[in-house]
Chains A and B, each alone.
Chain A
Amino acid sequence: MLTALVFTPTAVALLLFALPRRTAPAVFRAVWVTASAVELVLVIAVWAGYEPGGGMQFEERARWIPGAGVSYHVGVDGLSLPLLALTCLLFLTCAVYSLRENRRIREFAALFLFLETTCLGLFVALDLILFFVFFDLSIVAMYFVIAGWGHRQAARAALKFFLYTFIGSLALLLGFIGLYLAASPHTFDMVELTEQNPLAGRSAYGAVVLLAVVVGLAVKTPTVPFHTWLPLAHVEAPAAGSAILAGVLLKMGTYGFVRIAMPMLPEAWRRYALVLVVIGVLSVLHGALVALAQTDFKRMVAYTSVNHMGYVVLAVGAAAATADSSEQARSLAVTGAVTQMVSHGLLTGALFLLAGVLHERGRTYDMGAYSGLAAVAPVFAAMTGVAAFASLGLPGFSGFIAEFQIFTGSLGPQPLATALSVLGIVLTAGLFLRALRQVFTGPLRLPDAPGTPRAFADLRVHESLAVVPLLVLAVVLGVAPRFLLDVIEPASRSVLELLAR
């Protein structure tokens, strides 16, 4: 089941190349959308068959490279299932959004389908090397997306993205090897490593391994000070690429924290949790402040990602910071962290797609070039408004649920850090409101660059079809989050049990 879920997109991508070159672009688009829709159906089927609180399910295991302690081992639990669903949804919306994409549609579709495989594979992987393989392949695929379909500085942005995240991935690999060698018998299997806790009582070794793993994941997340690749990559990537990059790829880092670092290195994690809290707070504040200084809409959204992922890092750090705070509070923090991953994926995905709309119409992201768009494009304005308010954490949206949980859970163990982080909400509220005022209110003004159409068209059908489901889901999660939380909570409790060893 999971194997089919993971590898179907790549199979379809290969199929696209088997079609003759002359095939009409519409066929490629149709295949792409259909394949993504099938993936969504598959993941819904997995969700329907999932037993909340039943631990790891749908496990599949096969011998792969026994000589190196590597096996093909996949499965889902409450941590990975929401991210799987998010991945499938975002890829479908990107496919729908790209219905008007004309530039080498076959390669574009194939790359996205391949990217979908790597993302899904990463979230179901229960073997460190399998995890790493998908982690690296996602970088390769995203590199080609940025380099091939990005804006003017795409080549530079792609290279920077690749080099940074690849360095991170190698740090991660060294950490994995450290875990592998510590275990006896040597293995890369995550479940066995989690059970064995091989670095218990070896504080120096554990610290080094944790450092390697955390650096690797922090680059991908990204947290301060490893975030510098992010703005450029986001700004230069095509809209669908940015949506996936922010919506799914960034989650790989934070997912790694709760899946690998916390359960496998509990001692070291507890000892250095304060460092993570500090990094989290710095990311929150730095991301918000820098976003406040941006005039470029997409860049601003990119920096708010640093801010939002900072909350996640704060939460996973705070969950381990002190043992005397209540079990419930810490569980709330971890649950909030996972919810925030889902919520951020939905909202940033929507925001980046909307930024793509803005660029497609006006050929620039500069907020100063626009004014009064609400008059000519009311639907676009409304969507952007909803996405922005949701993103700044207004009650009734998923972001509120996530941030509320994170703050409530973290306040007990880390009052000062949490108080500082709450400032981040104020800052993001300010910057989103300012951006909305600038772009949508006032007298109508459009960028007057050569090649821009005079009229600013409102959202087209396929664009609405892509954005609306994301926002609807964000509202649904904000109003009735139980169905998601029921899945996440048992898993986050078990993470905390593992952490307490």
Chain B
Amino acid sequence: MTEMNENPLDLLPEVLLAASAVLGLLLGSWLPRARQWAVGLLAVVACVAGIVAASVAATEPATTAFGEAFAVDTVTGASRIVVLGGTLLVLGVSFRPLRGDPRESEFYVLVQLAALGALMMSGTQDLLLFAAAYLLASIPAYTLAGFRKDGPGTEAALKYYVVGALLGVLLLAGVTVLYAAGRATLYPMLGDALRDAPEPLVAVGAIGLLAGVLFKAGGVPAHFWVPDAVQGSSAPVAALLTTLPKIGALAALFRVGDAAFAGGPLPWAALIAVLAAASMTLGNLGAFFQQDVKRLLAYSTISQVGYLLMPVAVVDRSDLAQQALLYYLAAYTVTNLGAFAVVCALPRAHTVDDYRGLAKDRPLLAASLVICLLGLVGTPPTAVFLGKLQAFAAVFDGGYAWLAVLAAVNTVASLFYYLRWIVPTVSRGASPGRTEGDRTARVVAYAATAVSLGLGLAGGPVLDALAAR
């Protein structure tokens, strides 16, 4: 190796987040309990600074850092902004419930570490770094799932951990096999090597890799943890689990597919297309008759992963794939977090029936919920609609028209369960269980809804920025 481009400034957003996490841990150990919010504030500052740094970096030509292990390009830039923005929203909804909690600062630190893992996953171009990022994204998330230390939380953490550990081992095995097959861990080098490698070896390695990625993304068939972990953990954590790791995982899958597998001996596009189809369909079927709103959203995220996998499948077949994936990721993140923020704003409301009459009590909050849920369906003019439009166009363009049709059918099916939540929200009558809610979470919900609508109405420049160059 001639010259290493070890400029840490290329990784400024990641470095900021890591530094803020470490500093937060130190601060938390000597701050009095009533002042631990300062750690949260530090995290917010780190995220905002990270977004600024990522935006600045995104205007510059693509480059790599640390050899070629970490790519700083459009995919990384967009993932950084989305992950950090999502982290901000998660911090926003967790601010009030954690106020004065004995482990308040630990919570913020764990959130930041999980976000850092997602960032690393989305940017890495090296299997070994990817494995490390996977662990970094996973372990804080396991802890967060069980953060409340109650029955459901413990069960959530345990399920999440067991499935994650198992699939993590598969991931490491896959990485090993791919290394054996391609004699490299860098994606671009691997891509060349795998074209001549024995096909079974590549297939085994790819499946191991997919197991880990799909676990992080919460896609079929590694989705079993999603409903229990999401229902069992607290609402802010559930919001985190269903968004941040997904961004990293899907960006990583897009990248590894593009550089290493697409065009290789494996029928990569078909494989991802089938996984996408299975994800959206099974997620929808699971969501149909859910009463618990968190569980409903959990199944809904499984189906959303299916839609998100659509552009991943056609990574090398359509020029629209990259902007479709990145835009959809942003749209999904903000819309899903908007829906979760409404859930956080009403901590006593657990089932869809608890939302009865919300439109009369809190019209603005109900409007946010309705817009976010219809947004998740893909009703125009919200951001997810434009994302779906892009994804449909991309798979059409890539020759997978059947997947677009299936996705359309699934969209209609998904309407059914979102409406099961919308109907009580806007109908008359009041639910006794709902009391005063969380004001900060309400503001987050409004903000997320506004961004979701704004991104949909003014998606033009964003899409241009995300287009493959």
A residues lining the B interface (CB < 8 Å): 17, 63-68, 70, 129, 132-133, 136-137, 140, 144, 147-148, 155, 159, 162-163, 166-167, 170-171, 173-174, 177-178, 180-181
Contacts and interface: CB of A to CB of B under 8 A. Distances in A.
Interface string B412-430: 1001100100010011000
A285 to B, nearest CB: 30
B412 A167 contact: yes
A173 B392 contact: yes
B380 A137 contact: yes
A220 to B, nearest CB: 14
A67 B467 CA distance: 8
5 contacts: A68-B386, A129-B380, A167-B409, A177-B392, A181-B393
Contacts of A174: 392, 396, 404-405, 408
Nearest to B380: A133
A67 B419 contact: no
Interface of B: 323, 363, 374, 379-381, 385-386, 389-390, 392-393, 396-397, 404-405, 408-409, 411-412, 415-416, 419, 423, 426-427, 459-464, 466-467
Contacts of A167: 409, 412
B404 A177 contact: yes
Given A67-B459, A68-B463, A137-B380, A148 B427 contact: yes
A147 B460 contact: no
Q: Main secondary structure on chain A at its contact with chain B?
A: helix
Contacts of A129: 380, 389
Contacts of A148: 426-427
Central interface residue in B374, B408, B462, B464, by most chain A CB within 10 Å: B408
Contacts of B404: 174, 177
Nearest to B424: A155
Contacts of B405: 174
Contacts of B393: 68, 177, 180-181
Contacts of B397: 181
B205 to A, nearest CB: 34
A68 B459 contact: yes
A184 to B, nearest CB: 12
Contact of A181 (B381, B396, B419, B427): B396
Interface SS of B by simple majority: helix
A173 B379 CA distance: 12
B390 A171 contact: no
B415 A163 contact: yes
A203 to B, nearest CB: 17
B277 to A, nearest CB: 16
Given A167-B409, A167-B412, A181-B397, 12 more contacts: A67-B460, A67-B463, A68-B386, A129-B380, A132-B380, A136-B379, A137-B381, A159-B419, A166-B412, A170-B409, A173-B389, A174-B396
Nearest to A172: B408
Contact of B460 (A63, A144, A163): A63
Contacts of A180: 393
A54 B408 CA distance: 39
B464 A170 contact: no
Contact of B390 (A66, A68, A133): A68
Contact of B426 (A63, A68, A147): A147
Contacts of A67: 323, 459-464, 466-467
Contacts of A140: 374, 379
B463 A163 contact: no
B411 to A, nearest CB: 6
A92 B396 CA distance: 43
Contacts of B423: 147, 155, 159
A171 B408 contact: yes
A67 B465 CA distance: 9
Nearest to B323: A67
A217 to B, nearest CB: 16
B396 A178 contact: yes
Contacts of A70: 460
A170 B307 CA distance: 15
A163 B460 CA distance: 30
A65 B412 contact: no
A167 B415 CA distance: 10
A212 to B, nearest CB: 9
A67 B326 CA distance: 13
A224 B141 CA distance: 53
A167 B408 CA distance: 8
A335 B416 CA distance: 39
A170 B380 contact: no
B460 A66 contact: yes
B427 A147 contact: yes
Contact of B386 (A65, A155, A170): A65
A30 to B, nearest CB: 22
B394 to A, nearest CB: 10
A66 B467 CA distance: 12
Contact of B463 (A65, A133, A155, A159): A65
A137 B379 contact: yes
Contacts of B460: 63-68, 70
Contacts of B464: 66-67
Among A144, A174, A178, find the residue whose CB has the most chain B CB atoms closer than 10 A: A174
A177 B396 contact: yes
B401 to A, nearest CB: 8
A162 B386 CA distance: 20
Nearest to A107: B359
Contacts of A65: 386, 459-460, 463
Nearest to A64: B460
B416 A163 contact: yes
A68 B389 contact: yes
Contacts of A159: 416, 419, 423
Contacts of A136: 379-380
Contacts of A17: 363
Contacts of A181: 393, 396-397
A121 to B, nearest CB: 11
Contacts of B466: 67
A68 B323 CA distance: 10
A237 B212 CA distance: 50
A28 B353 CA distance: 31
B119 to A, nearest CB: 25
A299 B404 CA distance: 37
B380 A162 contact: no
Contacts of B396: 174, 177-178, 181
Nearest to A167: B412
Contacts of A132: 380
Nearest to B318: A181
A171 B397 CA distance: 17
Contacts of A171: 408
A166 B385 CA distance: 13
Most buried by A among B380, B396, B397, B463: B380
Nearest to A68: B463
Nearest to B364: A17
Contacts of A178: 396
A79 B19 CA distance: 64
A137 B466 CA distance: 27
Nearest to B415: A166
Contact of B411 (A64, A144, A147, A170): A170
A167 B461 CA distance: 30
Contacts of B374: 140
Contacts of A63: 460
A181 B396 CA distance: 8
A459 B459 CA distance: 51
- List of 8 A-B pairs having minimum Cβ-Cβ separation, nearest first: A67-B463, A133-B380, A65-B460, A170-B408, A67-B464, A167-B412, A65-B459, A177-B393
Contacts of A162: 415, 419
A162 to B, nearest CB: 7
Among A155, A170, A181, residue most surrounded by chain B Cβ atoms (within 10 Å): A170
Given A66-B460, A166-B415, A173 B408 contact: yes
A133 B393 CA distance: 16
Nearest to B405: A174
Nearest to B410: A170
B25 to A, nearest CB: 42
